[in-house]
């Protein structure tokens, strides 16, 4: 209990004052940051709105400029204009069909298009289409349009802010055109596309700025604005146009106080293709009215947090400390070496999750300890069994007898080499108790064994060893090859007429080391091979078909590398048996 009260007291006397100080400091800082952030967000939102509107307008309007410029590159239009230059040449019906289809294609591609005019050589060719109606004769003055150009060059693109095309019966349109000819005094024609004002009104009115904030487009020939705002927030269009047109920077912000004394913030940017200015106009009082509201909210929240912190701290301290004390007691028991931890109930919170995790961890540790103990026992038994199988009296007696015969025949050199091979064979079999050795050592061990056997059996068989260099340093379970080679000699070679061949080779395939022991003996039937492979896969049936040595090799490989590795038998096409040893490759 003293520990419990001490922890609770620490929480109460430290946690509450820290919370109070933290709330006061963070509240003050939050108010300052929130105020600044609100202002920054307001300007950011305005700039983002203008940028999005500018980007959309640029994409849409650039398409019309491309249509005007592309007119000079289309051979059909050039041919039509050239024909009208010669009074003696009349346009063919196919020329009118082409122009009609071309104008139709504009309306199909651009839904915001109101009308298209192509007028050339004093009306010798005149095509005006509006609302699917084609008019072949129009009464316009090219001088009216050429005078609006800022330069003497007729090839420039001219944009007209919202206006009425009276002679073309097109009210409230936005037009873009280019003229043909050498200069203003010698104009020959015009190609003009007029856009619906609805496209611009939808674009400008859909922007969400504020209750009385709005977007407009300002140029030297007018102001385009569609939103109706309260009269007190209105700005004289002449003043707005003058202020924006004299602005030196392409983007920025200006402040204007209207005739009602309202301070209006104007953020603007410039369209590069026609120098129109997109302006967002918003009353400053609406832009910053949330700052005071957020201050009141923050103060209220701070007071509430301070009050509730004192009330809730006691409850929190009790909820936290009680299960923690119990958990601490449990951890102390584990530290003392008691791994048999059992909980009857768990708290329904994070402490309960931690308690369940500790109990499950203890259960898993106990199970793992048990499994490790059993596995190590299996490995020791398997290793002991394979070592015992190597010290076979008849093999040792026969080898020693062979050495005795060599000595009697005064073949001292061969006798010495055979003694050396025998000693190396048993030395490597023991190998200081190491279960895992490099493949190079396993190959050296099998060379000693084959040398001894070949000295005993003479020319009854030969052998070949071909191992890829890349896998020679890979590790393998000791004494894997010897039982397989022994089987090849005693079961494959003894029943064969003529000289036998034992071939040992290895390769790296699919991140696996594969070693093969191959003989050209009499082999086995397919049913016998399948029975051996089934027995290799069945841990409970390893002794019924397989010999002890082969079963032991397969078991040791699977204990060390997993059930997917081990031995696999198959018949050799030209007679004999191939045994594959498969282990993982660790490069």
What value does the mean pLDDT take over residues 198-222?
89
Which is more confident, 329 or 261? 261
pLDDT at 2: 41
pLDDT at 310 over 80: no
Any idea which of 4-8, 210-214, 305-309, 345-349 has the lowest mean pLDDT? Answer: 4-8
pLDDT at 216 over 90: yes
pLDDT at 3: 43
Orientation of helix 548-561 relative to helix 350-390, angle to 10°:
150
Alpha carbon distance, N-terminus to C-terminus of the chain: 58
What value does the mean pLDDT take over residues 126-136?
85
Chain segment 144-173, per-residue pLDDT in tens: 888 888 777 777 889 999 999 988 888 999
pLDDT at 15 over 90: no
Q: Are strands 461-467 and 500-509 parallel, antiparallel or unpaired?
A: parallel
Chain segment 532-544, per-residue pLDDT in tens: 999 888 765 555 5
SS (HEC) of 238-306: HHHHHHHHCCCCCCEEEEEECCCCCEEEEEEEECCCCCCEEEEEEEHHHHCHHHHHHHHHHHHHHHHHH
User: DSSP letters of 188-239?
Assistant: EEEEEEEEEHHHHHHHHHT----TT-EEEEEETTEEE------GGG---HHH
pLDDT at 387: 47
What value does the mean pLDDT take over residues 417-422?
73
pLDDT at 26: 84
pLDDT at 332 over 60: yes
What value does the mean pLDDT take over residues 545-569?
84
Which is more confident, 122 or 569? 569
Residue 280: both structure tokens together: 């967002």
Which is more confident, 417 or 477? 477
What value does the mean pLDDT take over residues 429-458?
81
| Element at 25 (helix H, strand E) | helix 16-70
pLDDT at 117: 92
Residue 576's pLDDT band (boundaries 50, 70, 90)?
Answer: confident
pLDDT at 38 over 80: no
Of the ranges 74-78, 170-174, 484-488, which is most confident? 170-174
Residue 32's pLDDT band (boundaries 50, 70, 90)?
Answer: confident
Chain segment 42-61, per-residue pLDDT in tens: 888 888 989 999 999 999 89
Of the ranges 412-421, 490-499, 509-518, which is most confident? 509-518
pLDDT at 366: 73
Which domains, from first to last, does the chain contain? 2-62+289-331 (no CATH), 74-200 (3.30.450.20), 209-287 (3.30.450.20), 391-584 (3.30.565.10)
**456-488 burial code (b ≥16 CB/10 A, e <16):** beeeebebeeebeeebeebbbbbbbbbbbbbbb
Rg (CA), the chain: 49
Max Cα–Cα distance, the chain, nearest Å: 135
- Identify the three-state secondary structure at position 356: helix
CA angle 236, 238, 242 (to 5 degrees): 120
pTM above 0.95, yes or no: no
pLDDT at 433 over 90: no
pLDDT at 583 over 50: yes
pLDDT at 254: 92
pLDDT at 184: 76
Which is more confident, 153 or 67? 67
pLDDT at 171: 92
What value does the mean pLDDT take over residues 301-306?
83
What value does the mean pLDDT take over residues 308-327?
73
Which is more confident, 80 or 398? 80
What value does the mean pLDDT take over residues 182-209?
87
pLDDT at 389 over 60: no
Burial grade of 449 (CB within 10 A; 0-12, 13-18, 19 or more): buried
Which is more confident, 105 or 373? 105
Q: Which long-range contacts (CB under 8 A, 24 or more apart) does 272-276 make?
A: 272/58, 273/58, 273/61, 273/62, 273/65, 273/157, 274/61, 274/157, 274/159, 274/176, 274/219, 275/219, 276/159, 276/161, 276/217, 276/218, 276/219
pLDDT at 266: 92
Sequence-ordered list of residues with C-beta below 8 angstroms from that of 508, at least 6 positions apart, any chain = 468, 470, 471, 514, 585
Which is more confident, 331 or 442? 442
What value does the mean pLDDT take over residues 339-352?
62
> Distance between CA 194 and CA 130 in Å, rounded?
9
pLDDT at 344 over 60: no
pLDDT at 376 over 70: no
Residue 396: both structure tokens together: 């040792």
> Distance between CA 168 and CA 188 in Å, rounded?
19
pLDDT at 4: 43
Which is more confident, 6 or 578? 578
> Distance between CA 280 and CA 267 in Å, rounded?
5
The 8-class DSSP code of residue 11 comes to: I
Sequence-ordered list of residues with C-beta below 8 angstroms from that of 497, at least 6 positions apart, any chain = none
Are 476 and 583 within 8 A, CB to CB? Answer: yes
Which is more confident, 365 or 127? 127
Average pLDDT along the chain: 81
Which is more confident, 269 or 73? 269
Are 488 and 575 within 8 A, CB to CB? Answer: no
What value does the mean pLDDT take over residues 426-445?
78
Are 471 and 513 within 8 A, CB to CB? Answer: yes
Orientation of helix 289-335 relative to helix 2-10, angle to 10°:
160
Chain segment 97-123, per-residue pLDDT in tens: 888 888 888 888 898 999 999 998 888
């Amino acid at each position: 209990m003293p520990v419990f009260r001490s922890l609770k007291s620490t929480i109460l006397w430290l946690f509450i004052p820290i919370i109070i100080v933290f709330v006061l400091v963070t509240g003050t800082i939050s108010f300052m940051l929130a105020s600044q952030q609100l202002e920054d967000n307001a300007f950011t939102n305005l700039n983002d709105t203008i940028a999005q509107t500018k980007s959309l307008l640029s994409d849409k309007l650039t398409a019309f400029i491309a249509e005007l410029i592309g007119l000079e590159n289309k051979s059909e239009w050039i041919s039509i204009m050239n024909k009208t230059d010669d009074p003696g040449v009349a346009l063919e019906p196919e020329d009118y069909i082409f122009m009609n289809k071309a104008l139709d294609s504009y309306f199909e591609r651009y839904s915001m298009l109101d009308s298209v005019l192509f007028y050339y050589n004093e009306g010798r060719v005149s095509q005006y289409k509006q609302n699917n109606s084609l008019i072949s004769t129009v009464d316009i003055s090219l001088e009216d349009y050429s005078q609006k150009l800022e330069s003497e060059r007729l090839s420039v693109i001219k944009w007209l802010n919202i206006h009425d095309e009276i002679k073309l019966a097109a009210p409230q349109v936005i037009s873009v055109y280019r003229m043909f000819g050498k200069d203003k005094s010698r104009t020959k024609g015009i190609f003009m596309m007029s856009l619906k004002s609805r496209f611009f009104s939808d674009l400008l009115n859909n922007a969400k700025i504020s209750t009385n904030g709005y977007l407009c487009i300002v140029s030297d020939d007018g102001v385009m604005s569609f939103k109706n705002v309260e009269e007190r927030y209105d700005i004289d269009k002449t003043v707005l146009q003058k202020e924006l047109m004299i602005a030196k920077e392409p983007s920025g912000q200006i402040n204007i106080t209207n005739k009602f004394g309202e301070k209006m913030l104007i953020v603007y940017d410039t369209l590069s293709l026609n120098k129109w200015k997109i302006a967002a106009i918003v009353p400053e009082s609406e832009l910053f009215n949330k700052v005071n509201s957020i201050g009141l909210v923050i103060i209220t929240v701070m007071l509430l947090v301070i009050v509730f912190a004192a009330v809730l701290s006691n409850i929190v301290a009790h909820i936290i400390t009680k299960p923690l004390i119990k958990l601490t007691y449990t951890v102390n028991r584990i530290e003392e070496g008691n791994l048999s931890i059992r909980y009857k109930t768990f708290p329904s919170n994070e402490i309960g999750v931690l308690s369940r995790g500790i109990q499950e961890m203890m259960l898993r540790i106990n199970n793992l300890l048990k499994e490790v103990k059993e596995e190590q026992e299996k490995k020791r038994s398997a290793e002991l069994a394979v070592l015992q199988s190597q010290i076979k009296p008849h093999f040792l007696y026969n080898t020693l007898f062979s050495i005795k015969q060599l000595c009697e025949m005064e073949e001292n050199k061969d006798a010495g080499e055979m003694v050396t091979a025998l000693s190396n064979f048993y030395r490597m079999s023991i190998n200081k108790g190491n279960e895992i050795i490099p493949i190079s050592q396993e190959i050296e061990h099998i060379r000693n064994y084959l040398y001894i056997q070949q000295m005993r059996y003479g020319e009854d068989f030969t052998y070949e060893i071909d191992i890829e260099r890349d896998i020679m340093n890979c590790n393998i379970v000791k004494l894997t090859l010897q039982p397989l080679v022994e089987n090849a000699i005693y079961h494959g070679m003894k029943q064969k007429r003529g000289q036998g061949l034992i071939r040992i080779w290895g390769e790296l395939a699919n991140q696996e080391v594969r070693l093969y022991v191959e003989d050209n003996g009499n082999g086995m039937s397919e049913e016998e091979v399948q029975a051996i492979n089934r027995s290799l896969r069945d841990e409970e049936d390893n002794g019924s078909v397989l010999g002890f040595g082969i079963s032991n090799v397969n078991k040791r490989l699977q204990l060390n590398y997993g059930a997917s590795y081990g031995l696999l038998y198959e018949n050799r096409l030209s007679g004999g048996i191939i045994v594959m040893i498969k282990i993982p490759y660790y490069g």
